[in-house]
Structure 1
Amino acid sequence: MQDLNLNHWRSLIEQYVTEFGVKILVAIAFWIIGRWLIGLATRLLSSSLERQKVDPTMLRYIGNMVTVTLNIILIIGILGYFGIQTTTFAALIAAAGVAIGMAWSGLLANFAAGAFLIALRPFKVGDFVTVAGVTGTIKEIGLFSTAINTPDNVMTIVGNNKVFGDTIQNFSHNPYRRVDLKCQLAGNADHAAAIALFKQELAKIPNVLKDPLPDVEILEFNLVGPVLAVRPYCHNDHYWQVYFDTNKMLKEAPMTADLPAPIPSQVVLLHNQA
């Protein structure tokens, strides 16, 4: 009698283990195939949107949203296969969502800010911006953060909530940008000749725009002499090239034109006399 009971329990255990093992193998197969199908669907969607000339920023954001949504559906489907009621699972997700929302309020704020960044579009991928104190080129606008590549080639990740809540400067939005430089003249220098000389030399610098024309005017006076504002205009892609070339011109042009150089010791002398 005892042997019959043992055989009965053994057969039940073997039956349940076999059934559970088969379910585990099927669930693993579902997961592998489901992940492959999700990747395929995401690639097809991205290809379709690229053919329709959808903005890269929107393209990445939609791709992330679709991937996350399909993964959640896949997990719910696998749990349903194991007999877990999806309604119960949904209730657990809702309860967990409340708890996680309270604990991760900052993360959810970043998610909401990301949605506003996509909707309002203050910048897009490839724009050169200053956001949240970081200056660089936008590489990606993600669900929770924005990736910025700085001019010294450092990838910087900034939370979307911080980006959206701070001042945003988009240098790529307008068709051109102004380069602001100054040039100190000596007190006895002919400022009119200097202004004419700098305007002439600015026209020779590559990528300086002809419209609007560069501004060269007296900005202020100090103890050494007049200070000129030298302001050429250029496309954002050529900003640093025009900046450095203009600085070089401001050093070399006065020497070739025999303009008197400012003498810093005049400032010390005037201070001592006072």
Structure 2
Amino acid sequence: MEQVVNWFSNNSDQIVESGIQLAYAIAIFIVGKMIARAISGLLEKALKKKNVDKAVSGFLGSLVYALVLVAVVLMALSQIGVQTTSFIAILGAAGLAIGLALKDSLSNFASGVLIIILKPFKAGDFVEAAGVAGSIVKIEIFSTIFKTGDNKVVIVPNSTITGGAIVNYSREATRRVDMVIGVSYDADLKVTKKLLTDIVTSHEKVLADPAPTIAVAELADSSVNFVVRPWTNTADFWTVKFDLTEQIKIALDEAEIGIPYPQMDVHVHKND
């Protein structure tokens, strides 16, 4: 017992100093943990205000909390004299190994976050991306689910989508229908243009503003090509295209205006 008392007496200054350092380390850990929770909560609130998916905002909040907490623990250990260099090296090596093993998944996750934040499309939009055209069923963290026009479900990795061009056919309220109508060189162009104009402007789902464009675009090999470009609401695009295609064919037949097809003249020469 006397030896213990003597040891405490001889090392009292060091014990007090170690106690103070331990108290500082505990304080750093407690305050740092509170700060980590506050930062995580603020991040989640900010993401929710931007209508980011709840799963993504929760995951990012937890990730930030874990990173800040690791930094706080390292600071607390350093305060009590623990050499943290080796811990940092181990964490770096582990992070590198995990990153290399999960690089594809992490890439898909990052792309999913970008899609949710930047919103190039949303559920219900008709989109063409990564070689797939269809309606967006659901945007998930690692992939996006499409439903094609023939009712097939296609699951596409998010990194594949963000790595190429994205065409969103549903973003704007109106769309232009682009058609090319070829007539024979014998046709009266003024009569043909008036006929096409009457058909387009009389369709109930063709918009008056912007006005449709009907003009001679090309003197092709076998035909004179008109461009017919009416505007319509996005939801009526295919209805207008199909209706006008049928009505123009019927009207041109009734007006006896020929619709030529590619042809080749073969000249045969006979030598005596």
The alignment's TM-score, normalised by the length of structure 2, stands at: 0.63
| Structure 1 counterpart of 2:194, one-letter code | A
Query: Residues 93, 250 of structure 1: CA spacing in aligned structure 2 closer, same or farther, 3 A cutoff?
Result: farther
Superposition RMSD in Å = 3.0
Shift of 1:115: 1.0
Structure 1 unmatched ranges of 5 or more: 1-48, 71-90
1:259 to 243, 256, 261: 256
- For these two proteins, the number of residue pairs brought into alignment is 197
Cα distance in 1 between the residues matched to 2:259 and 2:206: 27
Check conservation: 1:183, 1:227, Cα contact below 8 A: yes
Query: Residues 118, 262 of structure 1: CA spacing in aligned structure 2 closer, same or farther, 3 A cutoff?
Result: closer
Which SS does the other structure have where 2:218 is aligned?
strand
For each residue in 1:119-178, what CA deviation from the matched residue of structure 2 results, as whole angstroms up to 9, or x when unmatched?
Answer: 222112222111111111112111011111112221111111111111011112222111
Cα distance in 2 between the residues matched to 1:187 and 1:194: 11
Match of 1:229 in 2: 227
Query: Residues 63, 187 of structure 1: CA spacing in aligned structure 2 closer, same or farther, 3 A cutoff?
Result: same
| Structure 2 counterpart of 1:261, one-letter code | G
The alignment's TM-score, normalised by the length of structure 1, stands at: 0.63
Please show how residues 182-193 of structure 1 align to structure 2 within 5 Å: 182-193=180-191
Check conservation: 1:129, 1:168, Cα contact below 8 A: yes
Instruction: Decide which structure has the larger Cα Rg and report it.
Output: 2
Structure 1 residue runs of 4 or more that deviate by more than 6 Å after TM superposition: 67-70, 91-97
Cα distance in 1 between the residues matched to 2:258 and 2:173: 36
1:145 to 143, 146, 162: 143
Cα distance in 2 between the residues matched to 1:62 and 1:93: 29
Cα distance in 1 between the residues matched to 2:179 and 2:245: 8
Shift of 1:264: 3.7
Which SS does the other structure have where 1:268 is aligned?
coil
Which SS does the other structure have where 2:99 is aligned?
helix
1:62 to 40, 51, 54: 54
1:194 to 192, 195, 207: 192
Match of 1:268 in 2: 264
Match of 1:158 in 2: 156
| Structure 2 counterpart of 1:184, one-letter code | G
Check conservation: 1:206, 1:242, Cα contact below 8 A: no
Match of 2:120 in 1: 122
Please show how residues 24-35 of structure 1 align to structure 2 within 5 Å: none
Cα distance in 2 between the residues matched to 1:272 and 1:156: 53
Shift of 1:262: 3.5
